[in-house]
């Protein structure tokens, strides 16, 4: 395998499993120095333990990377989680915790990395979002909302930091077979929804367990990091690219109808 990332320093958040681990492994195989930032230490990579929802811990972790390696070339904001259940019944604690992980964690890492990249006059920040950012999934309202917020934030950031030589792009994976499925927190839904919430989550979990391997997403992340002019967003998987293309031309009411049939 070619070592086209030799000399590059790459930080991947949440690289202890799933997409993050596969991404870190591929960057390392391509010659990069890889640092994992996660709540638990990685047994595979150089790691810095930090809770990405804690701004001070994230800033300290990025500062440690700078002290150890003198630079930061690529930041992959991958850490994330999910909750499911009726929006009516979701606890504020669960919703706030999800946004803290999926949105604020990525924000803290980007804010800490940008000054270092600006001083280098180069860098790349990649956000792992989801096709759910474009398709609000019933009974996963806040996962979809958090990923939509992440994608929107990344899109704005892209234009803010472009003059500093910093490239920003967002990846939109579809269903991926990882431990994310088992880790999803299930909020109780009131009896008014009957078995609809459980059926919707079961359908999503079935799709995930028959989904793409995380290595496919990792290859897409590395490919984005190579591009001098990466796209604003990139979906992974032919059918997800088709879904997004159709969503741009189909009436919103019809797209909502399809989502209701699939998951509600």
Residues tagged active-site: 143
Instruction: Determine how many CB atoms are found less than 10 A away from the CB of residue 201.
Output: 22
Query: Cβ contacts of residue 167 below 8 Å, gap of 6+?
Result: 123, 124, 125, 158, 227, 228, 229, 230
Distance between CA atoms of residues 223 and 122, nearest Å? 17
What is the DSSP-derived secondary structure letter of residue 174? -
The two three-digit tokens of residue 159, written as one number: 């234009």
Q: Is the torsion defined by CA of 162, 227, 7, 155 positive or negative?
A: positive
């Amino acid at each position: 395998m070619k070592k086209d990332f030799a000399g590059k320093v790459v930080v991947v958040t949440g690289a202890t499993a799933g997409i993050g681990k596969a991404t870190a492994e591929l960057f390392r195989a391509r010659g990069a120095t890889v640092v994992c930032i996660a709540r638990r230490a990685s047994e595979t990579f150089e790691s810095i333990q930090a809770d990405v929802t804690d701004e001070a811990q994230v800033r300290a972790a990025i500062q440690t990377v700078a002290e150890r390696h003198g630079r930061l070339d690529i930041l992959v904001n991958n850490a994330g989680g999910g909750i499911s259940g009726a929006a009516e019944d979701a606890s504020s604690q669960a919703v706030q915790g999800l946004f803290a992980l999926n949105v604020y964690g990525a924000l803290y890492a980007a804010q800490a990395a940008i000054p270092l990249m600006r001083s280098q006059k180069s860098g790349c920040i990649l956000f792992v979002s989801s096709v759910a950012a474009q398709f609000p999934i019933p009974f996963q309202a806040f996962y979809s909302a958090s990923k939509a917020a992440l994608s929107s934030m990344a899109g704005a950031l892209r234009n803010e930091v472009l003059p500093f030589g910093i490239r920003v792009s967002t990846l939109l994976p579809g269903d991926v077979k990882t431990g994310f499925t088992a880790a999803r927190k299930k909020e109780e839904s009131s009896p008014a929804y009957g078995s609809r919430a459980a059926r919707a989550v079961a359908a999503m979990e079935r799709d995930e367990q028959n989904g793409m391997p995380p290595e496919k997403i990792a290859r897409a992340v590395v490919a984005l990091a190579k591009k001098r002019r990466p796209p604003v967003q990139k979906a992974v998987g032919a059918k997800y690219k088709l879904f997004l293309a159709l969503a741009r031309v189909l009436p919103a009411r019809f797209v909502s109808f399809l989502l209701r049939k699939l998951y509600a």
